[in-house]
Amino acid sequence: MNTTLLTAATPATRMHVVWDWNGTIKDDLDHHVDALNATLPALGGAPVDRETYRAKHTVPIPNFYARLLGRTITEQEWISSDNAFLAHLRAQPVRVREGAVELMAALRQAGHTQSLLSLCPHDTLVREVREAGIGHFFTRIEGRTGPSGGTKAAPLAAHLRALGLTEQAHRVLLVGDAVDDADAAHASGAHAVLHTGGLHHPAKLAAAGHPLTDTLAHAVALGLRLIQERGTQLACA
């Protein structure tokens, strides 16, 4: 997709894009693998490679540890591991996925709106977005403020309420890298397109049956088409 080909939005074609952060805008798969491997020895686990990480990654995250270890971890083990994992991630530089800034700029230029929703801690998200210099693209930036380990469904519903989009969810596109992203979008009546370059293995994403692309630009193009088709259906209903 050539981002310069994004045509100007009209009231009927304008969409709102909710971006995921880790594994989507932030290109941090290697950092996540390293952070996980820094926590596994204390739990009796062996280090994993990128393919194993992507194949077994799931939400809620305690279930991910259970898959890797072959047992359920205790609450204290989860708290200690999560703290160590996040501390390792915070020490890494922020790397924005190639082409993401140009894509977000093209969306804004075309008249679409954008926000950012993540399950990483809110303070960390705000700091990393500031470090990346991309906060001006978003009408709302929202990370996790409560306990970790949950799914995105409830946070997305609250995010859309705060944006005044609950009744306009049919024109919302969530772009992410996890089945949980798509499940959350559908629970709120929004669209979702996943991309294959993030934290989750492409085969697992494909098996879930959600719209799937190899790049963020193609995800936006497909999402825009889905939203426009839905708008046409509503107009004819």
The edge-to-edge listing of strands for the beta sheet with 16-19 is: 141-144, 113-121, 16-19, 172-176, 191-195, 212-213
* Mean residue pLDDT across the chain: 93
Spatial neighbors of 5 by CB under 8 A, at least 6 apart, are: none
Question: How would residue 15 be classed by pLDDT, with cut points 50, 70 and 90?
Answer: very high
Under 8 Å between Cβ of 6 and 108: no
Q: Which of 60, 90, 120 corresponds to the end of one domain? A: 90
* Number of domains the chain is built from: 2
89 in Cβ contact with 28 (< 8 Å): yes
Residues 137 and 174 placed together within one structural domain of the fold: yes
The confidence score (pLDDT) of residue 234 equals: 74
Residue that is last in its domain, among 40, 74, 90? 90
CA angle centred on 18, ends 101 and 14, rounded to 5°: 90
Residues 143 and 156 in one domain: yes
Each residue's pLDDT tens digit, 53-99: 999 998 889 999 999 999 999 999 999 999 999 999 999 999 999 99
Looking at the structure, tell me whether residues 84 and 13 fall in a common domain. Answer: no
The average pLDDT across 25-40 equals 96
Q: What is the pLDDT of residue 2?
A: 53
Structural domain ending residue among the three candidates 54, 75, 90: 90
> Are residues 207 and 132 part of one domain?
yes
Residues 63 and 11 placed together within one structural domain of the fold: no
Instruction: Summarize the confidence of residues 178-195 as an average pLDDT.
Output: 97
Confidence of residue 231 (pLDDT cuts 50, 70, 90): confident
Q: How far apart are the C-alpha atoms of 144 and 55, rounded to whole Å?
A: 25
Tell me, yes or no, whether 13 and 127 share the same domain.
Answer: yes
Distance CA 7, CA 19 (A): 20
Residue 210 sits in which domain range? 3-28+96-236
- Cis check for the bond before 11: say yes or no (omega within 30 of 0): no
Are 17 and 121 contacting, i.e. CB atoms less than 8 angstroms apart? no
Residue 41 has what pLDDT? 95
H and E: helices and strands count for the chain: 10, 6
Domain check: are 114 and 214 in the same one? yes
199 pLDDT exceeds 80?
Answer: yes
Question: Do 73 and 124 reside in the same domain of the chain?
Answer: no
Q: In a 3-state reduction of DSSP, which class is residue 122?
A: helix
- CB atoms < 10 A from the CB of 60, how many? 15
Q: Above 50 in pLDDT, residue 4?
A: no
The pLDDT confidence band at residue 18, using thresholds 50, 70 and 90, is very high
Query: Do 129 and 201 belong together in one domain?
Result: yes
- Indicate if 175 and 225 belong to the same structural domain: yes
Shared-domain flag, residues 80 and 177:
no
pLDDT one-digit tens code per residue, 142-173: 999 988 878 999 999 999 999 999 999 999 99
**Residues 154 and 180 placed together within one structural domain of the fold:** yes
H helical segments located in the chain: 29-39, 50-56, 61-69, 75-90, 100-110, 122-132, 153-163, 179-187, 202-208, 216-236
Q: How many CA atoms are closer than 13 Å to the CA of 58, on its beta-carbon side?
A: 11
What CATH code is carried by the domain that includes residue 148?
Answer: 3.40.50.1000
- Residue 106 scores a pLDDT above 60: yes
Element (H, E) at 19: strand 16-19
